[in-house]
Amino acid sequence: MTDAHPVETDDAPNSDNPYSQGIRTGDTLYVSGYGPVDPATGEAVDGDIRDQTDRVLDNVAAVVDEAGGDGLDDVVKVTVYLTDLEDYEHVNEAYGARFGEDPPARVCVEVSRLPEDVRVEMDAIAVC
């Protein structure tokens, strides 16, 4: 990883685990997976799955901004992890409101469990 540089910001949750919030190599930024955790409190946000999706996307946007990008506008690929596909439609509502008419490529999978027992997590790739 000769051209890879970590990206760190206080505007997204920090972790004691051995990974970077993001890694930038050239114009490509790889954003680690984020759940609906408020970086100010370190706790998952209250609210429904739409509120949680908004917090996740705020966390992703913060890492992109820190890397010199333009938030979600620079995201080209997202992976969505849900613990219950029954949430899929509500996540799509919140997600679609944030990305608009030209959303990035996306994968959505159901998983058995996520850290902190949150219901949604996303990672992303951005070009900035």
**Residues recognised as catalytic:** 108
pLDDT digits (tens), the chain, 128 positions: 569 999 999 999 988 889 999 999 999 999 999 999 999 999 999 889 999 999 999 999 999 999 999 999 999 999 999 999 999 999 999 999 999 889 999 999 999 999 989 999 999 999 99
Q: Does the pTM exceed 0.85?
A: yes
How many domains is the chain partitioned into structurally? 1
Whichever domain contains 43, its CATH number is: 3.30.1330.40
Write out the residue range of the structural domain in which residue 68 sits.
4-127
Three-state secondary structure of the chain: CCCEEEECCCCCCCCCCCCCCEEEECCEEEEEEECCECCCCCCECCCCHHHHHHHHHHHHHHHHHHCCCCHHHHEEEEEEEECCHHHHHHHHHHHHHHHCCCCCEEEEEECCCCHHHCCEEEEEEEEC
